[in-house]
Amino acid sequence: MIHVEVQGWKEKDFPRRVYVYNYRIHDLYNRPGVSLAVLADDNEEWYDSVYIHKLWGCLTVFRFPTAKIFDYKKRLEELEKSDNPFAVVVAVHLRTMETKGNDTSRWNWKIELTKSLYRRGFKKQDILNLYHFIDWIMALPEALEKTYHQEIMRFEEEHKMQYITTAERIGMEKGRTEEKNETAKNMLKLGMEIGLICQVTGLSEEDVRKLSKGHGEVTH
């Protein structure tokens, strides 16, 4: 059994959580599991990969391998030219971190990365899957989202490769909004700061405060 844990920010209790999931897998399936962690945060110094517990002479040490996306930053240009879909995922994540707080730069990179999917010769389904991923992770304000979709539609028509219909785009937009709201609600439950929630989801502070109703007091 393989357990992959993706972590988007530094969390003190992260190694313990991986350990708990690992032994629960063992309990549930009665077979050992292998835990792997993908660290998707932008903290250059955070590499927690060991859980240690000591009590009255008992010692538990649990180590697990990690892959730090930030470590691939030096290979970004190589990733952006690769025909490996996983390389695209890593490159998109790095550009998302790089453009945090700069909507114009993110808009430009979102368009460039989306167009590059067509140039690399990916199959239609791979393009659709990666398109959905890019659209979800590289969140933009509503006005820029609209111009992004308009530009991609123009590009598709120009190259006679319209893979995504207008109805699908509308459905994607609705689904993306629901995903953002659900992510924000979960972060509110964990007591995370409104500023961080806005950065992660792309929602406005006003939207997050509306969602906070029913979730108790939130951190400013």
Rounded Cα distance, 210 and 194, in Å: 11
Whole-number pLDDT of residue 197? 79
More confident residue, 190 or 56: 56
Whole-number pLDDT of residue 167? 44
This prediction has a pTM of 0.67
45: phi then psi, degrees, rounded to nearest 5 = -105, -5
Query: Which residues touch 59 (CB under 8 Å, ≥6 apart)?
Result: 52, 53
CA dist 160 to 101, 122, 132, 163, Å?
A: 34, 15, 20, 9
Rounded Cα distance, 149 and 126, in Å: 18
Q: What is the pLDDT of residues 91-146, one digit of tens each?
A: 999 999 999 889 999 999 999 999 998 888 888 888 888 888 898 889 888 889 88
Query: 66, 18 in Cβ contact below 8 A?
Result: no
Q: What is the pLDDT of residues 31-54, one digit of tens each?
A: 888 999 999 888 888 898 999 999
CB count in 10 Å sphere of residue 203 = 22
Q: Burial, 180: exposed, middle or buried (Cβ in 10 Å; 0-12, 13-18, 19+)?
A: buried
